[in-house]
Structure formats: structure tokens, C-alpha cells
């Protein structure tokens, strides 16, 4: 079981600003937030449906992907993101970092 804390707020940003935003956030008295790896972010969806997931993260938008800190091995211009949408729940996809404002869920 993960000992990570996940931010439940949602905001959109390109990958670089998302990384910076997590590093600068102070939430619940903590300032050591960061952008999660693809494995960390996938862990909160593992074994769940979107319906059960929404009990813990009720404000998660249905049609958006969330950035991870992991970049593609073939191009650092691309980073992985995970979907929490009903139709693509848990899917991992590569996006161009600076041209796709996706959602951010920070961890600590």
C-alpha cells in the first residue's frame, strides 16, 4: 500500500509548468509536493472503476489526462499522462510536453 499523499485539487498546465507548480505548492501545511511518476499516479487507479475512484477524488474531470514526471525514452519532449476518464480510465499516453495543457495531481 502506498504511503504517498495525493492532492485532490485539479488544475491544468503544460508539463514544465506542472512540474514547477507541484514544487511550489503548499497544501495542508506541507511544501514537499512533486509531480508523480507514472507508476505512482497509476497506483491510485489500480483495481478501481471510475465510480469507486470518484469517491476519493470527487472533483476529477471526466475527459482529462493528468501529467506524470516520466518522459519518453525516445524523446524528452514527450511525457506520460494517465487518464481518469470513464472511457479510458487508467490508460497511459504520451503527450508533447509544451503543447498540451493537461491536469495535474501532485503527490508527497
| DSSP result, the chain | -----B----EEE-HHHHHHHHHH--BTTB---BPPPHHHHHHTTTT--HHHHHHHSTT--TT-EEEEEEEPSS-TTEEEEEE-STTTTT-EEEEETTT--EEE--B-
What pLDDT does residue 1 have? 46
What pLDDT does residue 4 have? 64
Higher pLDDT, 7 or 50: 50
Higher pLDDT, 7 or 35: 35
Determine contact, residues 59/9, Cβ cutoff 8 Å: yes
What pLDDT does residue 76 have? 86
Domain spans, the chain: 11-104
pLDDT digits (tens, 9 = 90+) for 69-93: 999 999 989 999 999 998 899 999 9
What is the mean pLDDT of the segment spanning 51-64? 87
What is the mean pLDDT of the segment spanning 31-50? 90
Cell of 3: 504511503
Higher pLDDT, 11 or 45: 45
Please give the share of the chain, as a percent, with pLDDT higher than 90: 31
Amino acid at each position: 500500500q502506498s504511503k504517498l499523499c495525493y492532492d485532490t485539487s485539479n488544475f491544468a498546465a503544460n508539463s514544465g509548468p506542472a512540474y514547477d507548480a507541484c514544487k511550489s505548492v503548499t497544501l495542508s501545511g506541507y511544501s514537499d509536493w512533486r509531480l508523480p511518476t507514472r507508476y505512482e499516479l497509476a497506483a491510485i487507479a489500480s483495481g478501481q472503476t471510475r465510480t469507486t475512484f470518484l469517491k476519493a477524488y470527487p472533483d476529477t474531470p471526466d475527459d482529462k489526462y493528468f501529467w506524470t514526471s516520466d518522459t519518453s525514452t525516445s524523446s524528452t519532449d514527450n511525457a506520460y499522462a494517465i487518464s481518469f476518464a470513464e472511457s479510458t480510465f487508467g490508460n497511459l499516453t504520451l503527450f508533447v510536453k509544451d503543447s498540451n495543457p493537461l491536469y495535474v495531481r501532485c503527490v508527497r
